[in-house]
Structure 1
């Protein structure tokens, strides 16, 4: 039998109890009242749906007396399950069900309704107790898990700290605010050498180096008071257990309690003694000469500046700048090892010389030394000091049974401290030394302030000469070399002229002298030769067929690459090499300069003509004239001056010059002269037998574009 035809229990009011609209209205009112009693974390529609189901179960309980208790407990449990557990949720629910059921079904079902309400209350209470218990158990388990996790993390953290504290190579000490040791790690014992038991009677202040103790104690106090920095990081010295000092990198901080009050110090120590010593060694090497151990130029300059600040303003300082004479002979002849031994000996002897004085000895490099002396009453005068320097250096040093000695040229500058400036003193001493060296070996010179402006200008010009060459400040000028018999022009002699950026003009000889100081000697020679040869090509193309003569300095003439450079220039143009004449100084080809003599032969084979200048009539010079392919020789300027300045043409020195002419001719060459100023001088040299002359009498040097208009007219034309 289906549900629609099933027999109804006696007394059942099925149609009324199955009224869907009524059930829905009851569920809505129930939901509304529960919402005022507790928070139910469900949507309102869901709550109403659940309560509708519960109304169905309640009505079903009235139809099945045997299921009243079971359904009542089920309804109560469902209310707890849906979190309708507010303080008034149960009374509200029971009152609502009572009123709705009595009003709907009347008093006939009261007994059954009371059983149902009691069952609902019992089920609600049981479910609520179970829910509370579950929540308590859940909370207890959560708390237990949290505590276990915290304990595990704390244990892990303590283990990690213990591992770091024990194994780190950095020493760590925990002390109280008085500095007493609470705990130290093994590295602390290793770094400083103290056993932990020995530290119990000590404080950390006992480990401070005496020179750093005051600073460190104050720094610890400031950290504890919290008035300044939050931590200390610095390089300071500590004392090891054996009394030695240890350079350490200190990192100090404060451990505070939960109330924020300082409780302990944590001091970490990293041993940097070796690093400090290495850095100190590097600093020493940067400021001292490696060979002698003397201060180097940089350190000397620093000490000089400090002396000029700290010494009495009215006192005097004397600076001696020494250059050892002819030291290359020792290096070349006996070897650099012997030279180094002698350099070290010189250093020790100079220190010995100023022993007892307020003085500083330094090595500037190579063979140059310096001595700075604070002049006092007992200090010897400058000549005595210079004499003492060379007397000490003259005492032989015996190396391998050979006695070796040295001498020095000395530049001296004296200044009152109030008027001195360190860099100017060094410059002045260097200028004085160069002047002493120019005077010969074992000479000394006192800086002359009257010549200082001129010397400073010359030094500046030498320094900027490379830039001047690069910027096109140089020109090649030409002057005629004329035959004294009046037969005409022999050649145009090329020379240098420098119109400096400062507005001064330097001639050929001045340019060469400065080039030797600035290091552009060869660059200047190559530029001059290329420029002059190019100009010669243009003149020949215009029908002016002349020969070019190019005078060279000693360094330019003895360059081993001279012949190769000339060959490259000749190959760049289609012109007879015989149109080029190189005039080399005797100093470039004499002595052991065999490569320079070979260059003369190579150039002669190419067709380039060669002459020599600076001839003084020595036997060696005459021999070179015979051995080399040279067709002309130019008399030294000092011999020309002897003849020009002589009041009597028959004095012996003039006769000696006169006698050189046949000797030169006997060697197959012709004698030339320069510096001829007038016709009288030209006639004198003509009578002596000289063939070619140059000088103001025949024309001053001119630029290339003026050459065609200024060439002298041949004599008798």
Structure 2
């Protein structure tokens, strides 16, 4: 808070300074404006009753440009209007003109101010050619309309010629703007320029010349020497700069006007007074434009010269800094001239190659440099990377001390060559380490799949030459229980122990690799005879089965092994690995802790299930699943009340795969959680495209119910998609509850508190279904289709169905009849009071874009029963 107050005080003080300064400037400008109006009106009116010079507008424009605030400019305009009116009234002008003329003049100044701000911005710098040109153009354009309006008023009031009044008014206003504004602005400040002003002696000398020339011109009336003053003005602009040029022009303009009215000088040769005035006005304009243009051009040249000097000094300083920086660089630098001799080398270059400054002074040829590097023991005699200085080149060089140097060689336009020497030993070692990490497992240090595949490729090629090989895939049995019961840290330690035992069970020439998780692989290679894979497999099973002590706790695990041999079981690495994978699957299916060989004829039927299991994770990553929706309609009205989300697997090669095939696999390998979460989110997003009266129903698996974070993920999904909780219904089966009823009760209660409803699917087929109704917060039961199939033909089935519907109604639960496929089944279920119906008769599963939510024509007579 104190900091804010301290910061506010200088700002407030600055505002007070601006207000005080602007007030003084407004008062001074308004007073000068009034005096200028009075003098111009009373002293310089011609026969057309128009002043031949109007300095007031130049004063007003200068005041507007000098003021820093908008409020100050408004105050100046407000003061200028009554000041001008007072001056006109003091001169005896009627009230109509005293009101109209100041308004016209103020409008002209405001117009010129706005155009200047648009063309030149906030800073008006008369030492720039563009500013001078813009200022002249604006001062020529701005008075046109005001002059026309003023001339019209003068013509109507005094009965004078409108053309003569317009010409005089326009020239006098332009002259006032062009002469007074630059003089005031340049006298007031230097517009931010840092140029040094002329000496007093030079100013006095040139002003004496100007005065003398002026006296010569205006003291006689016989010789037309008026334009002799222009070279003097140009000389002043050339020697003294813009400010003195503007002041000199202002003085010449005043003298010219006074002399003209008095009949002095060359203009006395002209008899017509109006012609005299126009000639003097043109002279003043030409003199002004010439002086300002010359002064601005010279100022720009001077500024350019100073900039060149500054850049030259900066370049010299940078050169010195470069020399210092070369010696401070971490890279070595050596510059060779076109003849191959050293021109520049820094200390880092000498340090890299162990050279002294005297060993390779500037001027040393390349051959001598090579000999010096060999003598210093930096490089072997056969190796010198920069041996040819003829082309751009990038090479890596290993020094005898184990360091690695990257040499960048670039040919310059003058034929010279610059070489940079970078010590990248750390990066090289990190790259080697990264390569090792890329090809090895971080946890166990074993080769990974990439390295194994390369070695299998070579083993397959060697098998064509009669060399034997065998590939084994291994899975640790019950590894998941170790992670679940003892934690992942214990699981990692177990993997390390198993890796060490596998390495000890094979020869050094064999390869043990870890493929990920608890999967390992072995490549057995024998150059002389067939690999004894059976003996190795038995040895591994026995070795791994020995007790393992981790964190003081004994553990036992087993291993299952699948074996394939090239080229019998496959001619490529992929085929061999797939064959070994199928053999591993067979070994597990036979009871774990065993090994099995691949048999093409015997294992042909195993490929499909194993392939699905191995491709399921890829399918989830690549979004090969899709969701279809089967409508659930009201038993009374036939309107769609909900849609059940059903997942399908669109395999790129096998087509659509039924959930009955892949859901058990997903539950076994743990992918069901990811699939379930994806289906839930997709269903919630699709529900937003359905009518708000329609719910979406999503099936849950046993694994999801047992997940302690499931309810949190449901809440996050609803929040992320924006679906109201009451529009979501989750379906569970009795088998998903029976494993852990207490956990199921907790999960379902939390879902109910969240606002999500729960339905019991396949009701009636389990042995504990009625206990579920009593203990769990279930809002709907879905009567299994086995009770629907015989509704039309079996009285007992109808009685059981009616009893179920009645019981649910008495418990406050709704009912849904599944598997409605005939009109008779629909009518009976509706008459029994079933709330909702579902089946192929009412709608098949379809994509979200193909769903229709209009009331279907469910019966031949178009009416719903019940």
Relative to its length, the structure with more strand (as a share) is: 1
TM-score w.r.t. length of structure 2: 0.40
Taking structure 1 as the reference length, what is the TM-score of the superposition?
0.47
> Which has the higher Rg, Structure 1 or Structure 2?
1
For CA contacts below 8 A with separation 6 or more, give which structure has more relative contact order.
1
